[in-house]
Structure 1
Amino acid sequence: MSKTALLLIDIQQSFYHRGYVASAETRAFEQRLNALIAGCRQQGILLVDVFHVSAQGPFSRASGLVERMPFLQHQADNTFYKNVHNALTESGLDGWLREQQVTDVIIGGICTEQCCETTARVASDLGYKVTFVTEATMTFPITHNGITLSVADLRHRTESVLINRFAAIHTVESCLQELA
């Protein structure tokens, strides 16, 4: 029998100092993520907060911003802190998941193509069955060499590189249906 955990990655107030602003995109993300959290809690899925920390700036614990964003009201089963892009290798999370006999992880959070995608890849490599709920992730446009990738571009790219290799791609609705 499989046991599942929802990994809520980097949904922290630090991002208010890195371009996270209220928009149609952020409101939709917040609503979808809260629906995923509520549905997972109803199914008895473990909820895990993972926060990114650094030595200085808005991601330092001393900043007071390494706290859950105010739109989140859930009670986490555990909280982990990481200083690398994936949530598993240096935070103690992998060991805790194994102690809890977790075999499947669901991923949501900030940023889609960075810490969320990296966590999906590492989780897959560590043997977890990974569900990536793209609409429960958030990102921001990225410009490189004069070319800007939109949020939609980044989500499409992330889904394309994860699907059938590292993760199953789901909507909130399809994820919750599969859990039921």
Structure 2
Amino acid sequence: METALIVIDVQQGFADPVWGARNNPDAEANIEALQNAWRGPLVLVRHDSVEPGSPLRPDQPGNALQPFLDVERADLVFGKSVNSAFHGEVDLDGWLRERGVEDLVLVGIQTNMCVETSTRVAGNLGYRATLALDATYTFDLEDLTADQLYHATEVNLRGGGFARIASTAEVLAGLR
């Protein structure tokens, strides 16, 4: 039984000040540690924004994946223009099932947006999903802080039965 690592929207454009204050400054280091230790399928998903002026538009430098991601080693790299990685330019569900993948570890940006949506859909599709929460981050939104949104995602996914919440260290320990 295979477990895939799904890395969602870890793009240079999220460094743009337009997003505001973020949380979890260790997220990138945790994502990199997971990627470097990973031996199963590695999937890199990129948000190809259709919003005018977005730093994540395909014609903008911010659309590029962050340089620490190993695109050459990845088994699948693709774009999406909606929140769910399962609704992109590739049939991710079909791709995973063809490879016998039943378990997923999800990480990336933004915790409460594309990461949470993709994790919910994974749970709906019957995958055993694990969210490595400390390998995600988000930004302040309206009257909520990034930390509040981050913890709300944790409660939503765990409490709703969509995913197991784990730390990077716990996921890495499970690989040994």
User: TM-score, normalization: structure 2?
Assistant: 0.87
Q: How far apart, in 1, do the equivalents of 2:32 and 2:99 lie?
A: 24
> Mapping of 1:36-75 within 5 angstroms?
36-40=34-38, 44-55=39-50, 56-57=52-53, 58-73=55-70, 75=73
Q: What value does the CA root-mean-square deviation take over the aligned residues?
A: 2.0
Deviation for aligned residue 1:38: 1.7
Q: How far apart, in 2, do the equivalents of 1:69 and 1:20 lie?
A: 19
Deviation for aligned residue 1:20: 7.2
Contact 2:44–2:77 under 8 Å retained in 1: yes
**Aligned amino acid, residue 19 of structure 1:** W
Contact 2:30–2:168 under 8 Å retained in 1: yes
Residue 174, structure 1, aligned to residue 170, structure 2: yes
Residue 161, structure 1, aligned to residue 159, structure 2: no
The residue number in structure 2 matching 1:19 is 19
Residue 90, structure 1, aligned to residue 85, structure 2: no
Q: How far apart, in 2, do the equivalents of 1:24 and 1:142 lie?
A: 12
Size of the aligned set, in residue pairs, is 170
User: TM-score, normalization: structure 1?
Assistant: 0.85
Q: How far apart, in 2, do the equivalents of 1:85 and 1:4 lie?
A: 22
The residue number in structure 1 matching 2:79 is 81
What SS class does the counterpart of residue 83 from structure 2 fall into? coil
Contact 2:20–2:140 under 8 Å retained in 1: no
1:83-129 deviation per Cα after TM superposition (whole angstroms, max 9, x unaligned): 11010023322221122221111110000000000000001101111
State percent identity of aligned pairs. 38
Unaligned runs of 5+ in 2: none
Unaligned runs of 5+ in 1: none
What SS class does the counterpart of residue 173 from structure 1 fall into? helix
